[in-house]
Chains A and B, each alone.
Chain A
Amino acid sequence: MSNEHTVKSYEEELRYLIDSVIKMGSLTESQMVDSMDAVIKVDKDSIDKIIKSDEEINKFRSKIDTQIMTLLVKRAPMAIDLRETISSLKISQDLERIGDLSKSNAKKVKPLPLDLPEELLGNLKRLGDLVIKQLNDVLDSYVNKNYDKAKEVWEKDEQVDDLTYIAMESVIDFLSKDKKNLDFSTHLIFATKNLERAGDHITNIAETICFLIKGEYLKGSRPKGKVIQQ
């Protein structure tokens, strides 16, 4: 913001709200990194810690809701302040969902065997790395109010779709070799799908940021990559 509100406490309340969203975002990002790490390393010891961190994310969500309600009642925000307030609400909702998906993936580590072949996890890791990068970039665009970067994230979801397709195929291939793999392969398929869904929430955040900055929604439909028939 180029210049500040005449009422300093209003300025502080808005700043506090934005800070909460940034903190929630960074917590969500660490949780996703940890969750991905747990899946790739089949690290069963870290599951509880990841579940615990989801509780923290949820607490942020309620805190942000309260902050927004207070702002709406006290300040009746207008224009950029209104968009900032509404965007915080929307972004925190998407972050909470991303947190749920990371938690869900962490839980899927439990039934996985420790000796998973590397080629099976390779594509999943590539997908996870891309989704983490997307989350990082979208949060960065939020912090710096960078329209172009948010739009780039939105466009790049196509790559998430493509990698999801590849990761799914490799799990299905592995499954088709031996039906005994059915149980944990199903978990890996769900984990892959969860990453793709997290990618969708990230594109929602990117759309919200574009709306926040310019006051209008991105036009046209987002580029789509390959999708597995469901």
Chain B
Amino acid sequence: MELMNSVKIKSKNLNVFYGEKQALFDVNLDLNEKEVTALIGPSGCGKSTFIRCLNRMNDVIDICKVTGNIEIDGIEINDKNLDVVSLRERVGMVFQKPNPFPKSIYDNISYGPKIHGKGETKSELDEIVESSLRKAALWEEVKDRLDEPGTGLSGGQQQRLCIARAISVNPEVILMDEPCSALDPIATAKIEELIDELKKTYTIVIVTHSMAQAVRVSQKTGFFHLGKLIEVGKTEKIFKNPDNKMTQDYITGRFG
């Protein structure tokens, strides 16, 4: 029997409403530790809504209501008393469009640790900046221009900077919402290579519209449609021989 990593995140009967409109319906999904889970599905199917529940990003939307449970390491995160700032420290996020702060490369990385009270001295911060940039495979390219603006980097470098920024606070989970959709194939390949490396340390959830990317980077894939999790399973199984016809129709481009 193949060994599976233990479950890091567990969603149980998760429902999300934006006002009257229900965006997620009873989603039950386990995400394994130190694994990459890919979420696929047509636009508006709920995959981004789902990952935004994992670090309570939906809290910032007034009309959004979340019911059901999400446990990280067995602790319910929808608890109103939970400190959301420390949750987001544990569950970092990388967005579709690289969004560095309009600050220097150094400040982009050191900002998070500073507000979370990590790295009190300059040398500690220097260390965090270097190790984060190294983990994001960006150090060699930027080490001589750390004081230059992060926005001056190429798209691919900016995205790796955002990954380094997410890593800098030493999270446990990294959420990636279509992190390569604005990047060229080489920059995409670098991010994918990085994801492969990062999964040794972090639990990663990636939303992607590229089937090939899901196959390349993930061990587990979930297919969403109209707010429902239709099928979830080992990536290899989903893309070679899915159980659900709707999954097959979507991944083979037969969705009508």
Contact = CB atoms under 8 A, between A and B. Distances in A.
Interface string B228-256: 00000000000111100001110111111
Contact of A79 (B212, B242, B256): B242
A225 interface: no
Contacts of B255: 6
Q: Is the interface of A mostly helix, strand, loop or mixed?
A: loop
Nearest to A6: B253
Contact of B252 (A79, A214, A216): A79
Given A76-B211, A76-B212, A79-B248, A215 B240 contact: yes
Interface string A172-188: 00000000000000000
A14 to B, nearest CB: 10
A145 to B, nearest CB: 14
Contacts of A10: 253
B254 A4 contact: yes
B42 to A, nearest CB: 11
Contacts of A215: 240-241
A83 interface: yes
A215 B241 CA distance: 6
Interface of B: 211-212, 239-242, 247-249, 251-256
26 contacts: A3-B249, A3-B256, A4-B254, A5-B253, A5-B254, A6-B253, A6-B254, A76-B211, A76-B212, A77-B252, A78-B239, A78-B240, A78-B251, A78-B252, A79-B240, A79-B242, A79-B247, A79-B251, A79-B252, A80-B248, A80-B252, A81-B252, A83-B240, A214-B241, A215-B241, A216-B241
